[in-house]
């Protein structure tokens, strides 16, 4: 499972992460958008994203790659404009962890436009942790990150 959560200028974006047949992820609709201070809406959006899971989609050909969906939701012209000043976190649960083992992984944005896992922003929860606790922790992280921006 992969759930993606962007923070940009006090707004949270929780898109759907679809897994291509080739094994990489693409951001697709639906996308939930809410103010970072609306913890109930954020909790609901994260639960909905978890429930949707990661639908499998055909791998797009390189010469017909879909347009990024995130700029439309932020009212900007390009993915680069959207990513400027944006912070990103993932909630992950992998088969290599056990069932019920989750991670929150903060991402680091590199000058070349790539996102990488930031070990300093990675939290691994013990086996059997309730997803509600993971969601609450991510909400606290997002709230603190917004306070740090002010």
Mean pLDDT, the chain, whole residue set: 93
Three-state SS for 25-67 is EEEEEEEEEEECCCHHHHHHHHHHHHHHCCCEECCCCHHHCCC
Report residue 100's pLDDT band, with 50, 70 and 90 as the boundaries. Answer: low
Tens digit of pLDDT for each residue in 116-146? 999 999 999 988 889 999 999 999 999 999 8
Question: What pLDDT, on a 0 to 100 scale, did the predictor assign at position 77?
Answer: 96
- Mean pLDDT for 87-107 is 84
Q: Is the pTM of this model over 0.85?
A: yes
DSSP the chain: -EEEEEEETTEEEEEEEEEETTS-EEEEEEEEEEETT-HHHHHHHHHHHHHH---EEPPPPGGGPPPPSHHHHHT-SSHHHHHTT-EEEEEE--TTS-TT--EEEEEEE-TTS-EEEEEEEEEEPPTT--HHHHHHHHHHHHHHHHHHH-
Domain encompassing residue 34: 2-149
Question: What pLDDT, on a 0 to 100 scale, did the predictor assign at position 101?
Answer: 85
Report residue 8's pLDDT band, with 50, 70 and 90 as the boundaries. Answer: very high
What is the number of domains present in the chain? Answer: 1
Decide if pLDDT at 95 tops 70.
no
**CATH code for the domain of 118:** 3.40.1590.10
Question: What pLDDT, on a 0 to 100 scale, did the predictor assign at position 97?
Answer: 56
Tens digit of pLDDT for each residue in 36-73? 999 999 999 999 999 999 999 999 998 999 999 999 99
Tens digit of pLDDT for each residue in 76-92? 999 999 999 999 999 99
Question: What pLDDT, on a 0 to 100 scale, did the predictor assign at position 117?
Answer: 96
């Amino acid at each position: 499972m992969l759930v993606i959560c962007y923070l940009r200028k006090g707004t949270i974006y929780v898109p759907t992460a679809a897994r291509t047949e080739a094994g990489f992820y693409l951001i697709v609709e639906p996308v939930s958008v809410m103010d970072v201070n609306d913890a109930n809406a954020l909790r609901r959006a994260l639960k909905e994203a978890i429930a949707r899971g990661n639908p499998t989609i055909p791998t797009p050909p390189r010469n017909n790659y879909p347009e990024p969906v995130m700029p439309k939701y932020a009212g900007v012209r390009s993915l680069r404009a959207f990513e400027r000043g944006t912070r990103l976190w993932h909630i992950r649960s992998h088969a290599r962890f056990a069932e019920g083992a989750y991670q929150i992984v903060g991402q680091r944005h590199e000058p070349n436009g790539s996102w990488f896992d930031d070990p300093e922003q990675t939290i691994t929860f013990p086996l059997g942790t309730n997803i509600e606790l993971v969601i609450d922790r991510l909400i606290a992280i997002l709230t603190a990150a917004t306070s740090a921006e002010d």
